[in-house]
Amino acid sequence: MSVFPLPVALFLSALVSLPVAAADMPRPPAEASPKVLNVEIPVPETTLDPAAIQDLYSAQMASVIFEGLLGYDYLARPAKLVPLLADGMPEISDGGKQWLVHLRHGVRFAPDEALGNKPREVHASDVVFTLERLLDPEVHSPFSFLLEGKIVGLDAAARRAADQHAHFNYQAPVAGLQVIDDYTLRIQLNAPDVNFGHALAQPNLGIVAPEVVRHYGDQIGGHPVGTGPYRLVRWVRGSALSFEANPVYRKRLWNFDPGTDPEARRIASRMQGHAIPAVPRVEVRVIAEQQSALLAFRKGELDILYLQNKLAPVALDGRGALKPDLRKLGVQHEVTTEPEILFNYLNVEDPLVGGMAPERIALRRAILMAQDDEAFIRVIRKGQAVHLPYPVPAGVVGHDPAYRSLLEYDPAAANALLDAFGYRPGADGFRRTPQGQPFAVRYWRQSEGETREFEELYKRGLDQIHVHFEGHPVPFPDLLKAERACQVTTRLGAWIADYPDGDDFMQLFYGPNTHANNLACFQNAEWDAMYRKSVTLVPGPERDALYHRMARMLETLGVAKVSHTRLHHMLLQPKVVGFRKSMVSAVAEWPFVDLQ
Amino acid sequence: MNANPLANPAPQHPVPQHPAPQAAPARGLWQIAVRRLLRNRVGLASAAVVAAFLLLILTTASGLLARDWDQQYAVSFAPPTAIAGNPQDDDAVGQGGTGSQIDPRAPVDLYGVVDPLADVMARIHGLSAPQAAAVAPEPTSVSGVVDPIGDALARAKAVPKSAVTQQRAVSLTLGADKWGRSVALKVVKGAETSVLVGLAAAAVATLIGTLLGALAGYCGGWVDATLDWLYGVFTAIPYLLLVFAIAAVLQQKGVTTIVLILGLTGWTGVYRLIRAEYLKHKAREYVQAARAIGASHLRRMFVHILPNVSHVVLVQLSQQVVGFIKAEVILSFLGFGVPVDVVSWGSMLNETPNELILGKWWQLAAAAVMMAVLVTAFAMLTDALRDALDPRLK
């Protein structure tokens, strides 16, 4: 359903199509025309200041303009950290507390009036400025958590600025950020953290130049100057962005690790040695209506289209293959899974279902066993999801495809379990507590959007085990507030990777994260001890074994059941080569793509 | 509406232009109205349709029909019987399933974690499903109460999953929705909610509108000014915003909430009309006469004037019913509607955008046809009532 009445929609679509028409006009005949990659984003970008970015699509834009110290290998699965502006991976010492970073020589910021229209080399002081800026109270970075509490002295400096209502003092030295020379930086962490590299790889920590930030003041969001493969040349806010290859971008060639995946190997054999970026110009259009985007793609106006699951049945047949009309056009179709989990959780502090008494554990497990994940995928997701019993999704470090859940859909066993613990049905057919009290399980969901179906399925599950259901839709902000206050009895939680490591998912159940990300309010000394140990381990078999125990314990105690992860469909025009869905959604793929 | 010359070959009863306060002429008005209504064939047919709907609602409300509308009768999106057997439907998205046949009873590695329910689960898993239900008498059970029907109930429930799947129909009279529920039952049960909401909300709105309109029109002065101000406030706010505001204040979902939302927002039209009628009538001779014989204000307002403006009230009431049936659909479509354990035409239509993408049109068709029939019939009945009741059209 369109939000706008027809005339407005026509006007808007005219706005959207204008820039494209303008871009088309001066284009010389076919052979001579430079390659242009046309892509869309469904939600308008907000800002291009890396530190201030909150939304995914702005982050994608920033990811091609800026570069961080580290990044992710384009092909490697699960995700693998690689150096970008750093010269080699950081040297980690002191048990993970000290990170020594060498900077690549000769990397230059794109020329800009703030830099005297000349390229300027990146120095270690720029990195320090960038890291400090993420915690600057005046920037209000939504991603400040990446560094909060991590670097020695940095939080104190930020607190000082906030307490005195003063500007952050970038001149004052921070103990944990030592510039050794122009190309060397030593970062001292408060505690060992082997995952600190993932923080450095986020687009929000793309390296910025202090002069540029000062020059543009609060207009910095519209004047991105970075070291990345592209630079912004035109910006019609909320409608279109044009990027051109950065003329001073360092010489960078395709050299990624395809691993054993045949598809990745095919891409690699074709692309290795290619220049990055291969396409000199990228046009990004904001197309809010997915139907319009699909039409534009069919007409060849878009080269890459993220096909939202809602519309998947329009382009794909029942077996998930392209429909004949698209196949005839030679369209390529890439399916990956999102680095996310959707899980039903039960609040361990809830007065009705919470607690660790055996009958409460049994109730929670029975409720979770009554949830039919297969029906969720088939009916609600229309087949556009895969079952995932493990808290770490595919593509994320620590995933186990062979893991099997203890709580698979089994209403008969769930009924037997409730019978065994004295939840007997009353005269109305619904179960009573072992103490004989009638009860209802209150299912929370956000009242906006298409979550009514979640509630319907949950109710069908509870109906099967004869437990009274009570739907409780509330506005999303209220839901978040209630969740933080541990008032939500049960809900379908969702978590998408901030960074592609299992730790980002396991922290969802860590006791001290209660009233934050730990939605089930699960606090268990044994589990928390395992988590604390896992943080100190480099990813590997030892940590995996720990993760397996932690995942199993969530099931035996009836805390949560991981349900599924959605499919991510990309449609590509036949001429697009070298595309592989980025493991980190905030990193755009365009610099690595070529057009034939 | 203009006077219809065809509707006028009535015997020329001398109906007084302004009925005197005696009962007899008022009865005469009603008699004429009934006679006029009976002569209107379209009106009678509409009344019959509306009556049929009301009968249907009585049967569903009493539980004789469609009590189990929430049950799964067929496979997901089973087509209507008339078009069933179309093989290309079989591989449509949403039909085939993901093919993940996970055996929930297969043993899993506990990775050294102690399962607090291990022995109970082992006993359940060790038995076949129907037997599993009989694990009930169990030492960990703290309740000493033995439910006499507990075991039987449990055994009945513990049917193996596959057996249930086999019983599901592949086609239904009007098709099935995504959960395999019968669209025919839903549309019948949905009529109950929609019509009850329409009637109740119209009653609330008309009651408020009539009371306030009578007060404002009859009293005049500061009462009129205050109520006009209230009317102004309500009509100045865009309708949907007002609906959202009231929904936010009521803070819960349900049929009562919808009735209140619609009733509290819909009274303004009635108010305006009734106020104007009272302004007109309070100066008429029969009201003056009533005053002369010592009738109180309330008696003049509701015993003398009200019967003479009742045609306006009745017509407004029936128009509101039509409007509110449609409004319930809109509210449900916007997500302010009924909770998931209640079905209405609005909630059915709310499900259809996603179904249409999959090419499943039958739920939309069923709900839309039912609603169109009822709304049209009610609207035509309203027209007939207006023709019959307007004292100016003899």
CA distance A513 to chain B (A): 22
Cβ distance A471 to B341 less than 8 Å, yes or no, reads yes
Angle subtended at Cα A520 by Cα A519 and Cα A524, rounded to the nearest 5 degrees: 120
Candidates B108, B334, B349: best to mutate against A (most CBs of A within 10 A) is B108
Residue B178: list chain A partners with CB under 8 A.
Answer: 379-380, 453
As given in the structure block, the two tokens for residue A406 are 């203890």
Compare CB distances from A434 to B96, B142, B161 and report the shortest one's residue. Answer: B142
* Residue pLDDT, tens place only, A535-589: 888 889 999 999 999 999 999 999 999 999 999 999 999 999 999 998 888 899 9
Tell which A residues from 426 to 485 touch B, by Cβ distance under 8 Å.
429, 434-436, 447-448, 450, 452-453, 455-457, 459-460, 463-464, 466, 469, 471, 473
pLDDT given for residue A22 in this prediction: 41
Compare CB distances from B179 to A319, A365, A460 and report the shortest one's residue. Answer: A460
Compare CB distances from B108 to A406, A417, A471 and report the shortest one's residue. Answer: A406
Specify the range with the lowest mean pLDDT, choosing from B98-107, B172-181, B223-232, B376-385.
Answer: B98-107
* Residue pLDDT, tens place only, A475-490: 888 888 999 899 999 9
- Asked whether residue B139 carries a pLDDT value surpassing 80, the answer given is no
* Residue pLDDT, tens place only, A418-443: 999 999 999 999 999 999 999 999 99
Q: Which residues have CB under 8 Å from A80's CB, separation 6+?
A: A72, A73, A257
Specify the range with the lowest mean pLDDT, choosing from A13-17, A270-274, A545-549, B307-311.
Answer: A13-17
Residue B142: list chain A partners with CB under 8 A.
Answer: 359, 422, 434-435
pLDDT given for residue B393 in this prediction: 61
3 state SS of A272: coil
Cβ distance A549 to B111 less than 8 Å, yes or no, reads yes
- Give percent above pLDDT 90 in chain B: 31
Label each residue of chain B as H, E or C: CCCCHHHCCCCCCCCCCCCCCCHHHHHHHHHHHHHHHHHCHHHHHHHHHHHHHHHHHHHHHCCCCCCCCCCCCECCCCCEHHHCCCHHHCCCCCCCCCCCCCCCCCCCCCCCCCCCCHHHHHHHHHCCHHHHHHHCCCCCCCCCCCCCCHHHHHHHHCCCHHHHHHHCECCECCCECCCCCEHHHHHHHHHHHHHHHHHHHHHHHHHHHHHHHHHHHHHCHHHHHHHHHHHHHHHHCCHHHHHHHHHHHHCCCCHHHHHHHHHHHHCHHHHHHHHHHHHHHCCCHHHHHHHHCCCCHHHHHHHHHHHHHHHHHHHHHHHHHHHHHHHHHHHHHCCCCCCCCCCCHHHHHHHHHHHHHCCCCHHHHHHHHHHHHHHHHHHHHHHHHHHHHCCCCC
* Residue pLDDT, tens place only, A134-146: 999 999 888 888 8
- Asked whether residue A60 carries a pLDDT value surpassing 90, the answer given is yes
pLDDT given for residue A78 in this prediction: 87
Using CA coordinates, name the residue in chain A closest to B343. Answer: A456
Mean pLDDT of B78-88: 76
CA distance B291 to chain A (A): 55
Dist. CA A266–CA A269, nearest whole Å: 5
Dist. CA A551–CA B113, nearest whole Å: 10
Mean pLDDT of B157-175: 64
* Residue pLDDT, tens place only, A488-535: 999 999 998 888 999 999 999 999 988 888 999 999 999 999 999 998
Residue A435: list chain B partners with CB under 8 A.
Answer: 142-143
* Residue pLDDT, tens place only, A192-229: 888 899 999 999 999 999 999 999 998 999 999 999 99
Mean pLDDT of A155-165: 91
- Asked whether residue B21 carries a pLDDT value surpassing 80, the answer given is no
Cβ distance A369 to B158 less than 8 Å, yes or no, reads no
pLDDT given for residue A478 in this prediction: 87
Cβ distance A406 to B106 less than 8 Å, yes or no, reads no
pLDDT given for residue B86 in this prediction: 58
* Of A222, A430, A223, A300, residue with least CA distance to B150: A430
Using CA coordinates, name the residue in chain B closest to A2. Answer: B353
Cβ distance B120 to A420 less than 8 Å, yes or no, reads yes
Mean pLDDT of A462-472: 93
Q: Which residue has the higher pLDDT, B4 or A480?
A: A480
Cβ distance B121 to A413 less than 8 Å, yes or no, reads yes
Compare CB distances from A413 to B97, B132, B357 and report the shortest one's residue. Answer: B132
With residue A185 as reference, give the H or E element that holds it: strand A184-188
As given in the structure block, the two tokens for residue A334 are 């890439």
pLDDT given for residue A349 in this prediction: 94
Cβ distance B136 to A545 less than 8 Å, yes or no, reads no
CA distance A349 to chain B (A): 18
Using CA coordinates, name the residue in chain A closest to B134. Answer: A416
pLDDT given for residue A498 in this prediction: 83
CA distance B244 to chain A (A): 12
pLDDT given for residue B390 in this prediction: 72
Helices (H), A66-163: 124-135, 154-163
Dihedral over alpha carbons B45, B49, B50, B54 (to 10 degrees): 140
Residue B70 pLDDT grade (very low, low, confident, very high; cuts 50, 70, 90): confident
Using CA coordinates, name the residue in chain A closest to B109. Answer: A404
Using CA coordinates, name the residue in chain B closest to A310. Answer: B354
- Asked whether residue B341 carries a pLDDT value surpassing 90, the answer given is no
With residue A565 as reference, give the H or E element that holds it: strand A560-572
- Asked whether residue B332 carries a pLDDT value surpassing 80, the answer given is no
* Mean of all residue pLDDT scores within chain A: 89
pLDDT given for residue B392 in this prediction: 65
- ipTM of predicted complex: 0.73
Candidates A291, A424, A566: best to mutate against B (most CBs of B within 10 A) is A424
Cβ distance B116 to A358 less than 8 Å, yes or no, reads yes
Tell which A residues from 375 to 394 touch B, by Cβ distance under 8 Å.
377-380, 382-383, 386-387
CA distance B190 to chain A (A): 16
Q: Give the A:B interface size as CB pairs under 8 Å.
A: 194
pLDDT given for residue B132 in this prediction: 46
Number of C-beta neighbours around residue A493 at 10 A: 19
Residue B27 pLDDT grade (very low, low, confident, very high; cuts 50, 70, 90): low
Candidates B71, B86, B88, B98: best to mutate against A (most CBs of A within 10 A) is B98
Residue A391: list chain B partners with CB under 8 A.
Answer: none
Cβ distance A404 to B143 less than 8 Å, yes or no, reads no
Candidates B68, B71, B117, B181: best to mutate against A (most CBs of A within 10 A) is B117
Amino acid at A340: E
- Asked whether residue B211 carries a pLDDT value surpassing 50, the answer given is yes
Dist. CA A187–CA A153, nearest whole Å: 11
Residue A408: list chain B partners with CB under 8 A.
Answer: 102-104
Residue A402: list chain B partners with CB under 8 A.
Answer: none
CA distance B164 to chain A (A): 12
Residue B124: list chain A partners with CB under 8 A.
Answer: 413, 416-417, 420
Residue B92: list chain A partners with CB under 8 A.
Answer: 313, 318
Compare CB distances from B76 to A379, A429, A453 and report the shortest one's residue. Answer: A379
Cβ distance A417 to B124 less than 8 Å, yes or no, reads yes
Mean pLDDT of A305-331: 88
- Asked whether residue A277 carries a pLDDT value surpassing 80, the answer given is yes
- Asked whether residue B214 carries a pLDDT value surpassing 90, the answer given is yes
Report yes or no: A289 at the B interface, CB cutoff 8 Å.
no
Residue B145: list chain A partners with CB under 8 A.
Answer: 424, 436
3 state SS of A341: strand
Cβ distance A416 to B142 less than 8 Å, yes or no, reads no
Residue B163 pLDDT grade (very low, low, confident, very high; cuts 50, 70, 90): very low
Cβ distance B357 to A311 less than 8 Å, yes or no, reads yes
Compare CB distances from A382 to B157, B335, B358 and report the shortest one's residue. Answer: B358
pLDDT given for residue B335 in this prediction: 66
Cβ distance A379 to B94 less than 8 Å, yes or no, reads yes
φ, ψ at A55 (rounded to 5°): -95, 155
Compare CB distances from A382 to B94, B129, B141 and report the shortest one's residue. Answer: B94
Cβ distance A313 to B358 less than 8 Å, yes or no, reads yes
- Asked whether residue A300 carries a pLDDT value surpassing 60, the answer given is yes
Cβ distance A425 to B150 less than 8 Å, yes or no, reads yes
